[in-house]
Amino acid sequence: MNAELLRIGDDIVAMHAVVTDEGVTLIDAGLPGDRRILQQALAAAGRSVSDIRGVVLTHGDSDHIGVAEWLRSEHGVPTYVHEADAGRAQGEKTPSASGGAMRLGPTLQFFAAALRRGGLRPKHLGEVRTVRDGDVLDLPGSPQIIGMPGHSAGSIAIRVPAVDAIFVGDAITTRHVLNGSSDVQVGPFSDDPDATPGSLERLRALPEREIVVGHGPIFHGTAAEMLAVLKR
């Protein structure tokens, strides 16, 4: 099967598309104002929104659900989220975790991007399909669900061997949105950051060589190599 990984957005907030002969799976959904950049990225790959078969969320935070409700309500695209984060994605639960230490420049960049891309007006989902640890979804790329509680109770990693990648959402970051640090580290705004390193151990033996985060550049290496440099 031919498969391509598209990165859409930037190191502040990104979503990703797995593009195959069977269609497109969107991993996370950016910010609400990201419709145009999604459409442009798909068009550059010879695809369109009509090729998206599903959105899979690494967790239910507002900077990951972005365009998912637009895709669901206007294009019939289902969104999949772990059952423990379904309420979060639908606006029934509000995260309250601290972001940690800040630096003025990176913090302003993050909030400016959120403002420009509609992040202050989140579009929560009217309907979701729930997943559990161990599920393999009938979507392009056959994404595999790995439970990763820590950032949120329903955080997951999404393994897609077809593009040699594991998507970890905000379990880790390679660009801290509040202080600009490029260290590989546990993501900010985590409900239970002490649980995340243990959850990441579930990935250690996997062979994929792209660890894809929601904020920051892709980590080029295996999960074991990523764990070796993780700042705790």
List pLDDT tens digits, range 5-60.
Answer: 999 999 999 999 999 999 999 999 999 999 999 999 999 999 999 999 999 999 99
Residue 101, pLDDT score: 72
Distance CA(225)–CA(181), nearest Å, equals: 19
**33 SS3 class:** coil
Residue 43, pLDDT score: 97
What is the token pair recorded at 100? 């940690």
Residue 96, pLDDT score: 62
Nearest to 144 by CA among 155, 154, 132: 132
Q: Are 155 and 82 in contact (CB under 8 A)?
A: yes
Domain containing residue 7: CATH number:
3.60.15.10
pLDDT digits (tens, 9 = 90+) for 181-230: 999 999 998 999 999 999 999 999 999 999 999 999 999 999 999 999 99
Number of structural domains in the chain: 1
- Amino acid identity, residue 153? A
Domain that holds residue 150: 3-229
Rounded to two decimals, the pTM is: 0.94
Give the chain's mean pLDDT: 93
Distance CA(47)–CA(18), nearest Å, equals: 11
